[in-house]
C-alpha cells in the first residue's frame, strides 16, 4: 500500500489545447490528474481576444453592429438581436411588428443551426461519427434561408437598429414552412441514433452533474441551467421581440447531468420549430423599420438588455454619453460565465469525461474571448 | 437626484452637440453642428418601491439614490457597500443570480471608475444594478464570498481596467497575457496601443500593427 507522499508524486499535470479538436476552438485546459481521475483544472482563455468592447467605443452604433456577429459566430443572429434591442432600448424605440416576427423566425432558425453544430461536434467528441454528417446536412438548409435573406451564411448582420434592412424575399414563408416540415422528422432521426444508444448513455448519464443551486452560484444559464431543473427562459420570463405571442414550452431536465442537457437541447430544437411555425403564419404587414434617424444618437443614459441566446443569457450593457458612439459597450457572454463551472463539473471525474463536459457546455471561444 | 450623473455628462463633450436628456424622443438626425448645450444628464427618475425603501432604511447613507431609467432600476452605493448589498439582496430579497460585473472609465472625474453589478432574482423576475464610483487605486471588496461567479467576472474587470478586488482568491489577468502591461479598456489606452515589449519578446515581430 503506497503512502501519501508516494501518491502525491504520481500527480500529473496535463496540458490540453489550445490546439485540440475537442476544445471547440482555442481553449487551453490545464488538468491536474491522479491516474485517470481529475483533481482540478485551470482554464486559460483569451487566445481569440480581439478587443470587441474597445472597438465598440471607436465605432458609431451602426458601424459596430456587424462586429457583434463575430462573437458567437455559430449563432450570429442572436448576437445581432441582443445588440439591436439594447440600442433600441436606449433610443426608446421598438421595431415594428413585422420586423419583430421576422427577427423571431431568423433567431429561432439560427438557434437550431447552433444546436445542430453542438450536437454534431458533441457526438463526434464522444465517438459517434454519424450524427455530425446528419446535423451539418440539416444546418445547411437553415443557412440557405439565412443566405437567401441577407446574403451571408455565418456572420449574417441580419438586423439593423430599429428593425430590418431587407424585406423578406419572395417565397421566404414557404422556405421556412418547408424547413419546419422537413426538420422535425430529422430530430426524431437523431434521437433514434442517440437517445437510447447504450454507448451514448454510458458516456453521458451521471457525468458532469451540476445542481440547480450550483448553477445559480456560478451564474450558469441557458440549456445547462434548465437541465438542472430550473424552468427559466428569458423568452418567457422577460419576453422581447414579441415572444409572448407564441405558444411554446420550456424543456427542463431533472438530474443536471450531460444526458439531461442533451435531452433539453433536443427538445429546444422542437420548440424552436414550433415558434417558427406560429410566427411564419402570422407575419403582420407593415413597415420593417422603426422611427430611427440615419444618425443613431441616444440620449445620455445606460441600459442593460439581455436575450436568451442559444447558449444562455446574452447581455449588453450600453452606456451612452449622448454622442454617436457608445461610451461603453459591455457584452455579457453566456459561454464565458458557463465555462467557469467547468472545474466544478469535472473535478473528481475521469479524464475521458473532460471532452464530454466541454462539449455539453456548448462554448464558443469567439464569445468567451471577444 | 441625478447629481451623481453630472460628471459623466460634463467630462466627455459629445462631438456634435449633446442631445437634450429627455427620456422618450429618439434623436433627431439633423442635430449636427448645433451650438453647445449644457452638459447632458441621464434623466433618471426615483425608483419607488418597497425594496428601494428597505435598502435605504437598512444601509442609510451607504447608499445614494435609488433610480429608474428606461424601466431599469439601479442603486448607487458607496464604495464600501456593494458586497454587503449583494449579500443582503441575495439572502433577504432572493436576488440569487449575479449576472454581471463590469466597469466604466470616466478619466476626468475624481472617482474615475464606475463598477457595475447586475443581479437578478428568479423568484421576483426582477433585475437591479448596483453602481459604485471609485477613484483609481481603490481596492473594492471581492464578491466571491457571496457569488462564486464573481471570480472570473472580477478577474476580467481587473484585466481590462486594473481595478483590484481585496480578498479575491486568484486575481490574475484572464483574457490578456499575464505579463501584459497596461489596461486596455481604460479610456487613456489607445485603440492601436499595445505592449511592444511583450509583442517583440513573445511573437518575435517588431509590432503587431
Average pLDDT value for residue range A43-58 = 90
Query: What does the DSSP assignment read for B87-126?
Result: HHHHHHH---EEEEEEEEE-TTSSS-EEEEEEEEETTTTE
Query: What does the DSSP assignment read for A284-336?
Result: --S-SB-S--SS--PPSEEEEEEEEETTEEEEEEEEE-SSSSEEEEEEE-HHH
Chain B residues touching residue A90 (CB < 8 angstroms): 70
- In this predicted structure, what is the pLDDT of residue A5? 52
Contact A301 B151 (CB under 8 A): no
Chain B neighbours among A 257-286 (CB < 8 Å)? none
Chain B residues touching residue A91 (CB < 8 angstroms): 26-27
Mean pLDDT is lowest, of A1-10, A48-57, A333-342, B165-174, for A1-10
Residue B88 vs residues A4, A189, B51, B58, B150: alpha-carbon distances, Å: 43, 49, 11, 10, 16
ipTM of this predicted structure: 0.85
| Sheet bearing A312-320, strands edge to edge | A301-309, A312-320, A326-332
pLDDT in 10s for each residue of chain B, 209 residues: 444 444 444 444 444 444 444 444 454 444 445 555 555 677 778 887 888 888 888 888 888 788 888 888 888 888 888 898 898 888 888 898 999 999 999 988 888 899 999 999 988 888 999 999 999 888 989 999 899 999 999 999 999 999 999 899 988 899 988 888 889 999 888 888 888 888 888 888 877 66
Q: Who contacts B53 (Cβ-Cβ below 8 Å, separation ≥6)?
A: none
Residue of B nearest to A44 (CA): B174
Chain A residues touching residue B16 (CB < 8 angstroms): 297, 323-324
B173: cell is 489577468
| A70 contacts A50 by C-beta, under 8 angstroms | yes
pLDDT at A175 over 50: yes
Residue whose entry in the numeric block shows the C-alpha cell 484572464: B174
A358: cell is 466541454
For chains A and B, what is the number of CB pairs under 8 angstroms? 155
Residue A3 vs residues A35, A149, A196: alpha-carbon distances, Å: 16, 67, 43
The pTM (predicted TM-score) of the whole model is 0.84
Give the minimum alpha-carbon distance from B100 to chain A in angstroms, rounded to a whole number: 7
Give the minimum alpha-carbon distance from A218 to chain B in angstroms, rounded to a whole number: 4
A138: cell is 440539416
CA–CA distance, A155 with A70 (Å, rounded to integer): 7
CA–CA distance, B74 with B115 (Å, rounded to integer): 12
A294 touches chain B (CB under 8 A): yes
Contact A336 B152 (CB under 8 A): yes
A106: cell is 431568423
Q: Which residues pair with A25 in a beta bridge?
A: A20
- In this predicted structure, what is the pLDDT of residue B61? 80
H or E element at residue A37: strand A37-44
CA–CA distance, B41 with B21 (Å, rounded to integer): 6
Q: What are phi and psi of B132, to 5 degrees?
A: -135, 145
Amino acid at each position: 500500500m503506497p503512502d501519501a507522499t508516494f501518491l502525491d508524486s504520481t500527480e500529473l499535470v496535463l496540458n490540453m489545447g489550445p490546439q485540440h479538436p475537442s476544445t471547440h476552438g482555442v481553449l487551453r485546459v490545464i488538468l491536474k490528474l491522479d491516474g485517470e481521475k481529475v483533481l482540478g483544472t485551470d482554464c486559460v482563455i483569451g487566445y481569440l481576444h480581439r478587443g470587441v468592447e474597445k472597438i465598440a467605443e471607436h465605432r458609431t452604433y451602426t458601424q459596430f453592429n456587424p462586429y457583434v456577429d463575430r462573437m458567437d459566430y455559430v449563432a450570429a443572429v442572436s448576437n445581432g438581436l441582443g445588440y439591436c434591442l439594447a440600442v433600441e432600448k436606449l433610443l426608446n424605440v421598438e421595431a415594428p411588428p413585422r420586423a419583430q416576427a421576422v427577427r423571431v423566425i431568423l433567431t429561432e432558425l439560427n438557434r437550431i443551426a447552433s444546436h445542430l453544430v453542438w450536437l454534431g461536434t458533441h457526438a463526434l467528441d464522444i465517438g459517434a461519427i454519424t450524427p455530425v454528417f446528419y446535423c451539418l446536412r440539416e444546418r445547411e438548409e437553415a443557412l440557405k434561408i439565412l443566405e437567401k435573406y441577407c446574403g451571408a451564411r455565418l456572420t449574417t448582420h441580419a438586423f439593423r437598429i430599429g428593425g430590418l434592412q431587407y424585406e423578406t424575399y419572395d417565397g421566404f414563408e414557404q422556405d421556412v414552412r418547408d424547413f419546419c416540415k422537413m426538420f422535425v422528422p430529422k430530430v426524431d432521426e437523431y434521437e433514434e441514433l442517440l437517445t437510447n444508444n447504450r454507448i451514448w448513455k454510458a458516456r453521458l448519464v451521471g457525468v458532469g452533474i451540476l445542481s440547480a443551486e450550483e448553477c445559480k452560484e456560478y451564474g450558469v444559464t441557458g440549456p445547462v441551467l434548465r437541465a438542472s431543473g430550473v424552468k427559466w427562459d428569458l423568452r418567457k420570463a422577460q419576453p422581447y421581440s414579441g415572444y409572448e405571442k407564441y405558444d411554446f414550452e420550456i424543456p427542463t431536465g431533472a438530474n443536471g447531468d450531460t444526458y439531461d442537457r442533451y435531452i433539453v437541447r433536443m427538445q429546444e430544437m422542437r420548440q424552436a420549430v414550433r415558434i417558427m411555425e406560429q410566427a411564419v403564419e402570422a407575419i403582420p404587414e407593415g413597415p420593417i423599420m422603426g422611427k430611427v434617424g440615419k444618425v443613431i444618437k441616444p440620449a445620455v443614459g445606460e441600459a442593460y438588455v439581455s436575450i436568451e441566446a442559444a447558449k444562455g443569457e446574452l447581455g449588453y450593457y450600453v452606456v451612452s454619453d449622448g454622442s454617436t458612439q457608445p461610451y461603453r459597450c459591455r457584452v455579457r457572454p453566456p459561454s464565458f460565465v458557463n465555462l467557469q463551472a467547468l472545474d466544478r463539473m469535472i473535478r473528481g471525474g475521469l479524464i475521458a469525461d473532460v471532452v464530454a463536459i466541454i462539449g455539453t457546455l456548448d462554448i464558443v471561444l469567439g464569445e468567451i474571448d471577444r | 437626484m441625478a447629481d451623481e450623473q453630472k460628471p459623466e455628462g460634463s467630462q466627455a463633450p459629445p462631438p456634435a452637440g449633446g442631445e437634450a436628456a429627455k427620456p422618450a424622443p429618439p434623436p433627431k438626425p439633423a442635430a449636427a453642428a448645433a451650438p453647445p448645450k449644457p452638459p447632458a444628464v441621464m434623466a433618471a427618475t426615483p425608483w419607488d418601491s418597497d425594496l428601494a425603501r428597505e435598502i435605504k432604511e437598512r444601509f442609510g447613507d451607504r447608499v445614494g439614490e435609488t433610480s429608474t431609467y428606461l424601466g431599469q432600476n439601479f442603486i448607487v452605493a458607496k464604495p464600501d457597500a456593494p458586497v454587503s448589498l449583494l449579500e443582503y439582496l441575495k439572502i433577504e430579497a432572493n436576488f440569487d443570480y449575479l449576472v454581471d460585473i463590469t466597469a466604466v472609465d470616466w478619466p476626468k472625474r475624481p472617482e474615475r471608475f464606475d463598477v457595475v453589478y447586475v443581479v437578478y432574482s428568479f423568484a421576483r423576475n426582477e433585475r437591479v444594478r448596483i453602481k459604485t464610483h471609485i477613484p483609481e487605486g481603490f481596492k473594492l471588496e471581492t464578491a466571491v464570498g457571496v457569488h462564486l461567479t464573481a471570480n472570473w467576472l472580477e478577474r476580467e474587470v481587473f484585466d481590462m481596467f486594473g481595478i483590484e478586488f481585496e480578498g479575491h482568491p486568484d486575481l490574475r489577468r484572464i483574457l490578456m497575457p499575464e505579463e501584459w502591461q497596461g489596461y486596455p479598456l481604460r479610456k487613456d489606452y489607445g485603440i492601436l496601443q499595445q505592449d511592444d515589449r511583450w509583442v517583440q519578446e513573445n511573437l518575435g515581430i517588431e509590432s503587431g500593427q
